[in-house]
Structure 1
Amino acid sequence: MRNPLSDTIVNIPPSGIRKFFDVVSEMKGAISLGVGEPDFDTPWHIREEGIYSLEKGRTFYTSNSGLKELRQEICHYLKRRQRLEYDPNTEVMVTVGGSEAIDIALRAMLNPGDEVLIPQPSYVSYVPCTVLAGGTPVIIELEEKDEFRLTPEKLLEKITPKTKVLILPFPNNPTGAIMNRTDLEAIAKVIEEKDLFVLSDEIYSELTYSGKHVSIAEISGMRDRTVLINGFSKAYAMTGWRLGYAAAPALILKQMLKIHQFAIMCAPTTSQYAAVDALRNGDEDIARMKKAYDERRRYLLREFRALGMDCFEPYGAFYMFPCIKRFGMTSDEFANRLLQEEKLALVPGTAFGNCGEGYLRVSYAYSLEDLQKAIERIKRFVARLDGEKKC
C-alpha cells in the first residue's frame, strides 16, 4: 500500500513543551510549572456575557472576519492602548486563537523557498508553521548578554536575498525578554533598508512589567510592513475560548481571510460576544492579574538567585528562564532528573530552540503557593547536585 502520510508532516517533531506532561498527569503528587496558562478563571463579567449570548440564541455563524462589533472594539483597544489605528472593515480579522493568525499570516505571505527569520529561544510554533507554509526557517540565536533582545547586528547577519519575513516574538515566550522603543527603532531601520515584512506576535503585550509595551507597528514606516498578532488568552485568562486576532494592511489581510474562509469559516460566536465585553470592561482585570504575576515574578527571581542560579530579570510574559549551566548537565537531563526525583516538571530550554540549551523555562502562571512548593523541591534537588559534585 502507498504511504498515506505527508513527508513534510512526518518530519516535523512534536512540541517539546508537552513532552513531560503525559508523565506528570499520571504521577501522584507531581507539580507542573510547565504550561503557559493563567491560573485565574476568566473574569465573571466576561463569562456572563458568553452565557447571555447563548441564552439569547446567538449561536449562528458570524461573518468570516468576525463580529463587526468585536472588530470595532479591537480597533478602539489598539488605538487606546497602543496608539495604532486600523480600519475594522478591511484591516482586522478575528481568528481561532493567536496561533491560527500566525499560521494563516505565513501562508498568505510566503512563496516556496522564502526565508523567515525566527529569533530563538521562542514559541514552538514559528518553525513548523513556516515549514507548513513552504518557507525556509532561518534561526537567529539570541543571547543572555543582550537580555535575549534582537539586535540590528544579529538581524543583519542572517538576511539574504531570499529573506522575506521577520518574526518578532516580544514579550518573549520563554525568556520573558522585551524590546523597548529604542530597540525597535534600531531594527526598523534594517527592516526598511532590506525591504522585509514583520509578523509581530504580541500575545503578551499586556504583561509588561517595565514601562509600557511598544509595538513595532508604532515605529515610523512599520505599520504597512507589519502583521500584528494578539488575542485574549493571556491578558484576559481566556485560553479555552480560543480567540485571537490579526491587524494588518488590507493587501495582506484579504489573503489571510481567504485561507480562514476555507479552513475555519469563523471563530466561535460565543467567544466573540464575550470578547467584546473583555475589551470594553476588562482593564481592571488585566491590572489585577498583572499585579499578581509581578509578585510571583519577583519572588522567583529572588529565589533562583539565592540558589546561585543565574537568571536575568524578565520584564514581560509570565516565564522565568534560569540558567543551569553550572551543574554540568543538559537541559533535558536536568529536567528529567528533577521530574523523577522531586516530581516537579519544568520545560527544557531546548524545547524553544537549540540555543535554549543550558536553560529551563519556568512558568509563573501558577499560584504563589504552588511556586513556593516548587522552589522547596528545587532547593532539595540543587543541594543534592551540589553534594554529588563534592563527592
Structure 2
Amino acid sequence: MIAIQRIRDNPRLKITWSVGLNDALIERSRSTEATKFLFNRNLGDIFVSIDTDILFEPQDFMYLVQDIIAGYDIVGGIYVTRNHEAPKIAIRMPEKTHVTLGEGSPVEATYLSSGFMAVHRKVFEKLATTLPLCRTGKTGDFYPFYMAFPVQNSDGSHEFLSEDWGMNYLARQQGFKCWADPRCRIGHLGLRSYWVNDVNVDDLADSYVSITEGRVDKTNIIQDLAAYWKLSIPEVWEKLKAVPADITTQEWNNKSPSARDDVLKFYSTNDSYLPALARFNLRPNYWERVRMLLSVSGNIADFGGGIGSLCCALTNYCREVNYIDLAGKPYDFAKFRFSRLPLDRKQKIKMHTSLENLQNLDYVISSDVLEHIHPDDLPVIVKQMYDALKPKGCAVVISDFGVSDRFPMHFSTEGDFAKLMQEVGFQEGPIRWIKP
C-alpha cells in the first residue's frame, strides 16, 4: 500500500485508481474492470492490474508504464507462486529463454500473471470485436476478456488456462505479444514474502532463467566478520564456504532437541549458527524477503535480530531500533557490529534479550524467527508483542511455519500463533497485526 500511495501522489502521473469488485468470480471481476476502462477513453491508454498480495516499488510500476509507452502490447513482472515448500514461476516463457534479473529489456513470454501486468487499450479494443458483451444485473455489461478455458497443446495434450493466461492466449491469437520485464522486482505475499530467488535453480534449467545477482552484502557482514574473527576478507569467504549450506539441519538432526530449554541452548551455544546466519543474510534473496520490513519507521523492535543485519539497515530509517535475541554467539557478534556503526546510527540501537518491559513501540518486526520458537514460549512472546506496542502499533511477522526434511527445526505452530494473536487482541493478519 505504501508503494501505491507514492504512485498516486506523483504529480507527473494522471492515474485513476479502481478497487476491484468484491466478486467471488475473479474472471468477472477482472473483466468488468477492463471493460469499464475500455468504455471510458478519459482513463487513458494503459490498464495496470495489481493484486493486493503483490509486493513492488513505484519504480516497478513505472517500468510497466514505460514499456507500454515504448510500444509493447502486454507487459508483466516476473514473480512466483506462494508455495511454502517449492515456489514456482507464475509466468511461462519459451524454452531456453535467458533472463538476467534486475536488468535488460523485456523478453517475450507465452503467459503472464495479471497480479502485476499492464495492457495497452488497443488490446481490449481488438478483443472486444471477437467477444460477446455479457450482461449481469449486479456489475453491468462486460466483455469476458479474462476467462479460464482448456486449450490443446502442440503435442495433442490439453491444458486448462487460468483467467489471466486465458486473456494472454486470446490476445496472442489476435497478433499481440506478451512480454516480461526482468527489471521489476516483484514479491508475492503469503505466509511470508516469496521472490524469484526462492525458486530452486534446477527447476528453471530447461525453461527459464539464469540468476546473476552475485553476492549481496548491504550491511558489511564480511568486513565485520573479518574484524571479529581477526581474519582477512578472503579467509572469511573461505570459512563461510566451508560451512555446509544445511549445517543447521544436520546439527538439529544430530542433537534432536525437543524440550524448551534444549531448543534455547541449541540456538544460543551452537558454534555453527553464527556462520549459518551470515550465509543466510548474504543470500541474494534475503533483502527481498525483508523488503516490506524496511518500510517501517519510528520506534521499532526487531524480534530475533540474529546477527543484526536488519537492525543495521533500519538505523537509516527509524528513530530507535531495539534488537531482541537470546544471549549467545550471534548476539555477541551483533553487539560487535553495532559498535562499528557511525555514531549517529549506533546511538539509535538498544539491545535486549526479550521484549519484556518495552513499551510504546510503533512496530515489532520479526523475520524467519517465530517458527523456531518452542510452543511453550509462544503465548508469552505473543503477549509481550502486544504489550510492547502502542495503540495502532503494528506487528509485522514473516515466518515459514511447518516441519519438513529441509527444516526439521521449525515448529508447526502457524494455527496456534494466529489464534494467540487474536486472543490477546490483535486484528487483521496473517502478516500485519494491528493493536487496536
Query: Which has more radius of gyration?
Result: 2
TM-score for the superposition, normalised by structure 2:
0.25
TM-score for the superposition, normalised by structure 1:
0.27
